[in-house]
Structure 1
């Protein structure tokens, strides 16, 4: 495989290929999803998660997915997908296929989080990570997922940073060997949750992806976390663009929907759109207001932030 020739534009357009023309060709037209007439789709492909519309769509995730579709959303993400039953996974996959929706990320189980750190280079940690990768491949087949989230875990502070980086790269190379034959991309997520985490910035993640040198190891650029850790969002997105395969959303402070914090999401979304990204934009945030009122306010915020054309 000519890894360096893995085209960024092909990777970024993957979601729209998976969805097919039915999801986007409608543009601003209304369409049926087996229920009431759907709202128009968005310019970008936003993906809500379980619970985000439980007051409007019901407690059952399948019903929520149908409600999401009726509101114009064409993707979902579900961090805990591997913890669901095989029956649930199959049902979610079938529902998404029927509605022409894309499955976004779920988290590789025990993928180096917390004390199970890939930076330490310990075989027992690597074995847990690789087991999670193999499990994730099977889950991805059921829900037609193409992206899985990996967090390498904490710093191993008794080792020099260069050694830790090398350990992480070595482990991820082995994970990529599992994912590549299935066309699945591990997306590495730098986080702001605690300064103990090894992966903190987009440029550090870029360096690691270049070291792994695989189409199955790219960046998950979470706009909320990166606003907290490094700021200068559009410039950092530009610098690391060739390694970005997925975006997540959350305003800061508060980690709620766009328009509730300091980030100018209309500008950020416009930049991402004009760069040609048509993949999933994961809505990994809370609702700023409770109940149905809060869910309607969330949709309104996305309509406003997505109106950049």
Structure 2
């Protein structure tokens, strides 16, 4: 094991910066890949040939400037540093590159560094780094598209159960299993109660799966503090957006990002600390 502890955190932080760069690709491309898959399924159901499209996955094609198509060289893709060196602009057409790219890398790096500081370079730290990385991706995908892909929520759920079985989360397997069950069924019940009362859908099935995954990672006793924290975060952000008139058309604000942020809060401070913070 690396010593001292700050060196382990530094290693975790550097790895997090690299993973954060990859998460930017996931956040951008995964919804597009889902749309292509839906288009192919629709064409198949109608007995039509699938539309011809260039290959698109998380590896192919190489990252390019969306404005001019310039292929990004390796030295232009170094986390944070390249964005700073390029002053946030494409090296060819000088179109602006959003600040969200380095912010995702920095946030992931900070979360990985914290995990390494808390648990050292261990399987436990690796498990929680995976947890944090998936939640970062889910937060921004849901914020952008109101989608919570099964390709992320279901592996997160199964990983939580496996981590509990291996003793990496400190949560008994029984609590993890019932946490997943209770997490899914609780929001499922809220969904149907709201739909029967109003005729509208208040959330999507992805929220059920995400809450089930959080239950698997923290156990059923943590579900109440997590949902309370998600509600508090959602209320604060919703009020701020309303005051700044930045609500999207229709006033729709996805709940998944708030669940994900509550999960990260629970990872860092612990579910019990959340209850103390809100006076319960």
If each structure's strand is expressed as a fraction of its own residues, which one has the higher value? 1
**TM above 0.5, one fold?**
no
Q: Which TM class, normalised by the smaller chain length? A: under 0.3
- Report the structure, 1 or 2, having the larger helix content: 2
Larger-gyration structure (1/2): 2
TM-score under structure 2 length normalisation: 0.26
